[in-house]
Amino acid sequence: MNLIEALQSELNRCRELIKLYESIPTGMFASIMIKKEIELAEKAIACGDMVEIYKCHENLRKCE
């Protein structure tokens, strides 16, 4: 698996986390923070910036 594939996998996992957080009353802040990380990752992919892609991948891996 290359870095882009790994990032896509983390993006999918985090999108599922958003659904979970949005289903609980106190989860809105976490949901917003994860959405921001997803937005940054999508921009990094669009720019092809491998350093940013790596950073985004690491940040998304930390989302719980």
pTM score, whole prediction: 0.91
Confidence of residue 59 (pLDDT cuts 50, 70, 90): very high
- pLDDT digits 0-9 by tens, 32-47: 999 999 999 999 999 9
DSSP E strand boundaries for 1-64? none
How buried is residue 16: exposed, middle or buried, by Cβ count under 10 Å (0-12/13-18/19+)?
exposed
Mean pLDDT computed over 1-26: 95
Confidence of residue 20 (pLDDT cuts 50, 70, 90): very high
